[in-house]
Amino acid sequence: MKARGDWNQIKGQAKQKWGNLTDDDLDYEDGKQDEWYGRLQEKTGHAIDDIKGWFQRTF
């Protein structure tokens, strides 16, 4: 995933949208995108497509 802008700002906005996310939840490792989205889906209860869409629209 390529982000436009500062990753700390992106993480802050994601935590505002989904209040139960932590910095650890939002730690992203190259090559582990599917695992990362799966972790976010587990924590937020939202579909992976919705989460991906939010990140793509926002950043």
Q: State in Å, rounded, how far the first CA of the chain is from the last one.
A: 10
Residue 43 near residue 18, CB atoms below 8 Å: yes
Inside any domain, residue 3: yes
pLDDT value for 48: 97
Whether the predicted pLDDT of 58 surpasses 90? no
Inside any domain, residue 22: no
- What is the identity of the amino acid at 14? A
pTM of the model: 0.82
Number of domains in the chain: 1
Distance (Å, whole) CA 27 – CA 42: 15
- What is the identity of the amino acid at 24? D
Structural domain containing residue 57: 1-16+32-59
pLDDT digits (tens, 9 = 90+) for 39-54: 999 999 999 999 999 9
Average pLDDT on 7-30 reads 92
Distance (Å, whole) CA 21 – CA 48: 15
